[in-house]
Structure 1
Amino acid sequence: MAKTVTNNQLLGEIGETAVRLRFLTIGFQFDGRSRLEAGVDGIAEVMDNGKPLARMIAVQVKATESSRYASEDDKGFSYLLRAEDLAYWRGSNLPIIIVLYRRSDETYFWKAVSLDIEGDGRKLQFDKTRDILDQNAVDRLAVLTVPKAGFGYYVPPLGGGEEALVNILPVVLPPEVFVASTSLDARKAISVLLNRDEPARFDWAINGGTFWSFTDPRESNCRHVVDIDQVEAIDTAEIAFHEDVEELNNFAFLLRKTLDHQVRADLAWNKDRKLYYFRALAENTPRAFAYEALKKRASTEVVNVALNKADKASVDFVRHHAFLPRFERLFDQWYLVINPTYFFTTNGFMPHSYPAALLAGKKRLDNSASLRGQVVMWHRFLSRSDREQGGLFGAGSTKPRLSFGEPPAVALATRVPEDVWASQKPVPESGGEQERLFG
């Protein structure tokens, strides 16, 4: 009996050859396996402008002649993995992707097996726009090879660099810190100040019977919580650049309390999430902030009212621009680290009961350009010259005690790949302490 090659065998060979050519076209190497393969048809290697990086991806090819995929429409379709393939892949030390090749329309779709799996763990959902195996998939494929443990690194195979903005603002410190003895702890001092008729200020800290502030307590109602004859002005550098870690933590907290006072008219502090967010001016009312961006004047809606899609008269939620602050000393310079985020309320004032899904949805839309814009916006807000007029502080205030320099820029050899920004899952924001609090 003469030997025959089945149509399925031919289609399998055609599919593997077509996928190999597609990987070579986008700049990857692709080596096929032997006939003994049990669920991996080939190994793709990431290359940077023709330079192999020893970053491997295991590839399984599934070819079809012309059949429609399950639940296929104009936007996407689903694909059910074989249980035996999935069991085999789970032991892999390489990232696994499946590539679907359809000969009739020469389409190539791909998906990482460990991502976007629904139901019993075998169903993959494909997006016909996002999951095409072409040049636009290069960065998403390469990021699969970043080690899951440790810090990892990734060199995207792209030419052309860009200037990256670091999300830290240099802090210009006041020259003096006022120190005084006190018999009160912080809680009792707050009670004393609130019970006075004079405007209270809280840009100070108390630790171990010592009061610290960049403002002279004798010139405000803080004189009621300190020993007036013990007030002394010392050089800020003596504590700002102390060698003791505890002293540095305490100084970082004093910086944060000083910032609290400077921004309190425009920003609210959320104790649970440890962040500042723009205050709403009225219930269910948007608010904009105009500023000079890097190249032109810009305006951002820092309080955004989201209406219900079905009932335009009803408000779903209110989104506030926010940031998590952290003061850090690097060598002989203090910086304010700006981590842009969002805060959600029901009407501009009442915190939203379920903000996590709203935050995750918004974060998925952010790319490098929008995050860069947010860092610039926060710098412009924190360094506004009109604060010098005293309009932000109320009675008893003169000028801001902290000022901020421009965020530093770093020249990158390659640009930030937007697909990688979009593919990363949002990192949960820590609810822990950022600075050690005074007692």
Structure 2
Amino acid sequence: MADRKTVTRQTFIGEKGIALIERRCLEMGHLFHPRRVDHGIDGHIDLVEPGSGAVLNLTLLVQSKAQDRRFSGETDDAFHYVCDQRDLDHWLSGNSPVILVFSHPESDEAWWTEVKAAFPDAVSRAKRVVHIDKRTQRFDRDAAQALLHLAVPRTAGLYLRPAPITEVLTTNLLPVTEMPLTVHLAPAAFTDYRAAGAALDAQGQRASGWILRDGLVLSFHSLRDSPLRVLCAADPERHETAEWADSDDLDTQHRFADLLSRTVQSSYPDLRWHKDRKHMHFRATSHLRPRKAGKGPGSRGRTVFGPHASKSDPQRVGFYHHAALRTRFRRLGGVWYCQLEPDYCFTTDGRTEHPYADRLLAGIKRLDRHPAVRGWTHVWANYLNQDVDLFTEPRPVQFGELATMTVDRGIDDRWWGPAPSGVAPEDDQEPSSAGQENLDTVLAAADANTQDLLSLLQGGSSDGDAGAARRKDAGNKARSAGRRTSRRGGTNSERRGQ
């Protein structure tokens, strides 16, 4: 016999509890109206004047708690019930009276209490426990008059806050899941990075992933048999990483966070450190062609480097954009995280910063909205989390997925108001004319097109952010012009970029 849909025993118990409430209300002379959609309230009682039968336009809200087993601590005289925190907050959030009806439908017994009377102060609300006296709180015809006294007067508005929405929030925190087991340190032979870098260059090889701090040189790499030996003024020591990672000393935490940051910066050959901007950004590609990165499940990635045509002359490249990232390592709840803060970099030739980089950055910040930040955060999380292949050395610091948290509050995205003037609206809205004029003024000196900046926020066009889709051909010509004309980022600049 084929499987059939079934009704659970608890469903029957719940329905019997509602039926018992309706029958008792009729016995009292009141009317009960069950709700088919339950968000913490099962129905409401319309109160009726005794004798005349007049409907008083007074209402009580009802939540049913029906069980076929005994309630907690139930005896012949009493029992107690622990309320869910979200339900309790919901019931207490308005001026509408809410009563709880506890019942054993099989034995035709029911008891009740009014929520605000059961939780009169902060102490009782923190405990969330309802105490029921089975002799004095029976829900039967003798309770009719007590219900009449609970109703809100007709002159008062009746409201109850909507039921809370459970929501999963995604943070910009990337947990560190793996790091080297040993930290190497030694007294430093140099006091600043410039001199230390010159000493390494003199050996004919560049080493990275180290820091100078408080007269020490520190690295996850060995200091004894590597190019970093030249930075040591005495024999190196080895310490367990856990001594640093788990330390409660703030100075030690700051040193360790700095070491993590330097190590990550040196672990991705496609990234370049911008000393003045304090961020990492994608390097220019060979021949200054667009690059995509950050692919993940359900994501095609985004164009992280690419050219943009000049607004005044679409035949030449106006600037190149580089996706950038600021990082901050923090220990929260005993776990180290990399905090991701997406940023942008603009160059004239893939390496030299654009003279109007600040204006371009100001323009894109005016357009930046939550969807863009969220999108770029996922791009960077996917990129830093990329799998190691046969041609890539294992990275010393590895990450997990973006940290999430579940909260018992939520906001319907449709409730958000319009964006302030000068800030990019959602995809289905157009920028205000005043805000657009101000933005065009900011970008005028940089000879940039607003649509090009929008393409960065929206993920870029498939041809690599050379411009909007309607300017695809002009963008392709601009890339060719950029490679031909040395004055506008030509051959010499291209070699520098490589």
For CA contacts below 8 A with separation 6 or more, give which structure has more relative contact order. Answer: 1
Where structure 2 has 5 or more consecutive residues not aligned to the other structure, the ranges are: 1-92, 95-161, 424-498
Inter-CA distance 165–232: structure 2 relative to 1 (3 Å threshold): same
Once the two structures are superposed, residues 18-42 of structure 1 have per-residue CA deviations (whole angstroms, 9 ceiling, x without a partner) of: xxxxxxxxxxxxxxxxxxxxxxxxx
Indicate the residue corresponding to 2:280 in structure 1. 276
Indicate the residue corresponding to 1:343 in structure 2. 345
Q: What is the correspondence of 1:123-272 to structure 2 with a 5 Å cutoff? A: 163-171=168-176, 172-187=178-193, 188-197=195-204, 199-226=205-232, 230-263=235-268, 265-272=269-276
**Structure 1 residue identity aligned to 2:335:** Q
Work out whether residues 368 and 421 of structure 1, in 8 Å CA contact, stay in contact via their aligned partners in 2. no
In the alignment, the residues of structure 2 paired with residue 421 and residue 405 of structure 1 have an alpha-carbon distance, to the nearest angstrom, of: 35
Query: When the two structures are superposed, what TM-score results if normalisation uses the length of structure 1?
Result: 0.53
Work out whether residues 294 and 383 of structure 2, in 8 Å CA contact, stay in contact via their aligned partners in 1. no
How many Å apart are 1:161 and its aligned residue? Answer: 6.5
How many Å apart are 1:424 and its aligned residue? Answer: 7.8
Once the two structures are superposed, residues 190-212 of structure 1 have per-residue CA deviations (whole angstroms, 9 ceiling, x without a partner) of: 22111003x32121123344221
How many Å apart are 1:259 and its aligned residue? Answer: 1.4
Indicate the residue corresponding to 1:414 in structure 2. 411
Corresponding residue SS for 1:193: helix
Once the two structures are superposed, residues 106-152 of structure 1 have per-residue CA deviations (whole angstroms, 9 ceiling, x without a partner) of: xxxxxxxxxxxxxxxxxxxxxxxxxxxxxxxxxxxxxxxxxxxxxxx
Inter-CA distance 226–310: structure 2 relative to 1 (3 Å threshold): closer
In the alignment, the residues of structure 1 paired with residue 286 and residue 341 of structure 2 have an alpha-carbon distance, to the nearest angstrom, of: 26
Aligned identity (percent) is 30
Alignment match of 2:420 (pick from 419, 423, 437): 423
Once the two structures are superposed, residues 267-288 of structure 1 have per-residue CA deviations (whole angstroms, 9 ceiling, x without a partner) of: 1112222111111114653221
Aligned pair count? 263
Where structure 1 has 5 or more consecutive residues not aligned to the other structure, the ranges are: 1-50, 53-156, 392-397, 427-439
**Structure 1 residue identity aligned to 2:289:** T
Work out whether residues 321 and 341 of structure 1, in 8 Å CA contact, stay in contact via their aligned partners in 2. yes
How many Å apart are 1:219 and its aligned residue? Answer: 3.7
In the alignment, the residues of structure 2 paired with residue 211 and residue 287 of structure 1 have an alpha-carbon distance, to the nearest angstrom, of: 36
Work out whether residues 176 and 235 of structure 1, in 8 Å CA contact, stay in contact via their aligned partners in 2. yes
In the alignment, the residues of structure 1 paired with residue 415 and residue 278 of structure 2 have an alpha-carbon distance, to the nearest angstrom, of: 29
**Structure 1 residue identity aligned to 2:183:** V
Indicate the residue corresponding to 1:303 in structure 2. 305
How many Å apart are 1:303 and its aligned residue? Answer: 1.1
Work out whether residues 322 and 346 of structure 2, in 8 Å CA contact, stay in contact via their aligned partners in 1. yes
Inter-CA distance 185–278: structure 2 relative to 1 (3 Å threshold): same
Indicate the residue corresponding to 2:387 in structure 1. 385
Indicate the residue corresponding to 2:48 in structure 1. none
Corresponding residue SS for 1:353: coil
Once the two structures are superposed, residues 303-331 of structure 1 have per-residue CA deviations (whole angstroms, 9 ceiling, x without a partner) of: 13211244221122222111211111213
Indicate the residue corresponding to 2:320 in structure 1. 318
In the alignment, the residues of structure 2 paired with residue 161 and residue 344 of structure 1 have an alpha-carbon distance, to the nearest angstrom, of: 41
In the alignment, the residues of structure 2 paired with residue 158 and residue 285 of structure 1 have an alpha-carbon distance, to the nearest angstrom, of: 52
Corresponding residue SS for 2:339: strand
In the alignment, the residues of structure 2 paired with residue 196 and residue 303 of structure 1 have an alpha-carbon distance, to the nearest angstrom, of: 33
Inter-CA distance 181–309: structure 2 relative to 1 (3 Å threshold): closer
Indicate the residue corresponding to 2:44 in structure 1. none
In the alignment, the residues of structure 2 paired with residue 209 and residue 408 of structure 1 have an alpha-carbon distance, to the nearest angstrom, of: 35
In the alignment, the residues of structure 2 paired with residue 163 and residue 415 of structure 1 have an alpha-carbon distance, to the nearest angstrom, of: 13
Q: What is the correspondence of 1:59-138 to structure 2 with a 5 Å cutoff? A: none
Corresponding residue SS for 1:242: coil
Corresponding residue SS for 1:292: coil
Inter-CA distance 421–369: structure 2 relative to 1 (3 Å threshold): farther
**Structure 2 residue identity aligned to 1:266:** D
Structure with more helix by fraction? 2
Corresponding residue SS for 1:218: coil
Query: When the two structures are superposed, what TM-score results if normalisation uses the length of structure 2?
Result: 0.47
In the alignment, the residues of structure 2 paired with residue 418 and residue 305 of structure 1 have an alpha-carbon distance, to the nearest angstrom, of: 38
Q: What is the correspondence of 1:18-29 to structure 2 with a 5 Å cutoff? A: none
In the alignment, the residues of structure 1 paired with residue 282 and residue 163 of structure 2 have an alpha-carbon distance, to the nearest angstrom, of: 38
In the alignment, the residues of structure 1 paired with residue 421 and residue 404 of structure 2 have an alpha-carbon distance, to the nearest angstrom, of: 23
Work out whether residues 191 and 215 of structure 2, in 8 Å CA contact, stay in contact via their aligned partners in 1. yes
**Aligned-residue RMSD, C-alpha:** 3.2
In the alignment, the residues of structure 2 paired with residue 306 and residue 417 of structure 1 have an alpha-carbon distance, to the nearest angstrom, of: 34
In the alignment, the residues of structure 1 paired with residue 390 and residue 253 of structure 2 have an alpha-carbon distance, to the nearest angstrom, of: 31
Work out whether residues 301 and 379 of structure 2, in 8 Å CA contact, stay in contact via their aligned partners in 1. no
In the alignment, the residues of structure 2 paired with residue 389 and residue 237 of structure 1 have an alpha-carbon distance, to the nearest angstrom, of: 30
